[in-house]
Amino acid sequence: MTEGLRQTLTVEAPSKQYKITIDKKWIDRDFFKALAVNRKIVMITDENVYACYRELLEGFDVFVITAGESSKCMASYSDIQSYLIEHHLTRSDAVVAFGGGVVGDLAGFVAATYMRGIGFIQVPTTLLAMVDSSVGGKVAINHSVGKNILGAFYQPDAVYMDTAFLETLPDAEFACGMAEIIKYGLIRDEALFALLADLPVKAVREQIASIIARCCAIKAEVVAADEEDRGLRQILNFGHTVGHAVESFYHYKTYTHGHGVAIGMAIKAKLAMNNGIIDPVQYRLIVETIKKFNLPIAIDEPEQMPEVLKEVIHDKKAEGDVFKLIELETIGSVKIAAYTYDALVAMLA
């Protein structure tokens, strides 16, 4: 086991305290064996991750799901529960999520509900899961009426991140994670944003472990203050309301989550410029930074945007015409603002 610059953080969520450990090239077979001392573990992964890391997982009880969002469903949930029953898992055993956000959300919801909650360990393998979904305890599956309809707040016992896993991650998936990283800079960390704006992409990749650690520290702070998403945690949705509108308007086929968030952030930057909150130089810096990481700043047919934004009204269950958006206050800070659809469209014109 080689050790780089190992970083650890503690998440002090009201329901549970746990550690996040980040390093490069440290998770090997012995690591997984150590997790299974004095208890059973079942690993959940998807077919792509399994194809890349089959040798690492050999000899463990592994449940492999089909890759993709469609696996966050009742059928996979039920199949995994049956697998745990067949393998006689008890409350003192654990489920290990080894994969991206899909695996983490599904495995977490299984762990939260199997015998009213068993051990749950996150080993995220995508950049997006490392900086976002593996930390904070939101676990869920989808229903035909919408995403994440059936879920829980169920914090993991620990989160172990090995940035070596990112070496096999497709570039498009890496870009998705970068969208969330830029988000953390914009909402809470001006110095992080400056680093992303200044450094060449290659240098960002070389420093990814410490960048992940900064994002996790922000997420940990926010989750500690508002575990169940009643207040502060909403700042993590910066760019997401518009982003979800873009994703859903195109039926989740044309734009990935990262694309949606990137477009949402670019629109918020434009809104802030048009409101006189940031100046044109700051606006350019934000959109150039988004573009640098291979992310879009607008949809391909910008004339469709007013139509796309109508989705926001559905998404927000708007009180009357007014809905809340997270708005830039400056680079590194946001506030909650209220908009009507008409005002939003007019401000963006």
Task: Please give the residue ranges that form the binding site for ligand ADP (CB under 6 A).
Answer: 46, 48-49, 52, 67-68, 99-103, 125-126, 128-129, 133, 165, 168-169, 173, 176
- How far apart CA 7 and CA 26 sit, in angstroms, is 12
> In angstroms, what is the minimal distance from the CB of 31 to ligand ADP?
16
Nearer to ligand ADP among residue 46 and residue 247 (C-beta): 46
- How far apart CA 310 and CA 126 sit, in angstroms, is 31
- How far apart CA 133 and CA 326 sit, in angstroms, is 20
> In angstroms, what is the minimal distance from the CB of 41 to ligand ADP?
19
Nearer to ligand ADP among residue 60 and residue 283 (C-beta): 60
- List C-alpha distances in Å: 173 to 166, 167, 168, 181: 9, 11, 10, 13
231 marked among binding-site residues: no
Q: Which own/partner pairs from 198-203 qualify as long-range (CB within 8 Å, at least 24 positions apart)?
A: 201/292, 201/293
Q: Confirm if 223 and 137 have CB atoms less than 8 A apart.
A: yes
103 marked among binding-site residues: yes
Q: Confirm if 249 and 308 have CB atoms less than 8 A apart.
A: yes
180 marked among binding-site residues: yes
Nearer to ligand ADP among residue 128 and residue 222 (C-beta): 128
Nearer to ligand ADP among residue 175 and residue 308 (C-beta): 175
Q: Confirm if 213 and 9 have CB atoms less than 8 A apart.
A: yes
> In angstroms, what is the minimal distance from the CB of 27 to ligand ADP?
11
Nearer to ligand ADP among residue 101 and residue 151 (C-beta): 101
138 marked among binding-site residues: yes
323 marked among binding-site residues: no
Q: Which amino acid is at 308?
A: V
Q: Confirm if 140 and 151 have CB atoms less than 8 A apart.
A: yes
> In angstroms, what is the minimal distance from the CB of 51 to ligand ADP?
8
> In angstroms, what is the minimal distance from the CB of 13 to ligand ADP?
21
125 marked among binding-site residues: yes
Nearer to ligand ADP among residue 126 and residue 155 (C-beta): 126
101 marked among binding-site residues: yes
> In angstroms, what is the minimal distance from the CB of 47 to ligand ADP?
7
260 marked among binding-site residues: no
Q: 10 Å Cβ neighbour count for 252?
A: 15
10 marked among binding-site residues: no
Nearer to ligand ADP among residue 92 and residue 168 (C-beta): 168
> In angstroms, what is the minimal distance from the CB of 331 to ligand ADP?
25
> In angstroms, what is the minimal distance from the CB of 238 to ligand ADP?
18
- List C-alpha distances in Å: 231 to 58, 131, 156, 236, 275: 43, 20, 22, 10, 24
- How far apart CA 297 and CA 305 sit, in angstroms, is 12
4 marked among binding-site residues: no
Read off the tokens for 106: 């599904």
Nearer to ligand ADP among residue 167 and residue 321 (C-beta): 167
Q: Where are the beta strands (DSSP E) in the chain?
A: 7-13, 16-23, 41-46, 61-65, 94-99, 119-124, 138-143, 146-153, 158-162, 322-330, 333-340
Q: Binding-site residues for Zn(2+), please? A: 180, 240, 257
Q: Binding-site residues for NAD(+), please? A: 101-105, 125-126, 138, 147, 165-168
Q: Binding-site residues, please? A: 101-105, 125-126, 138, 147, 165-168, 180, 240, 257
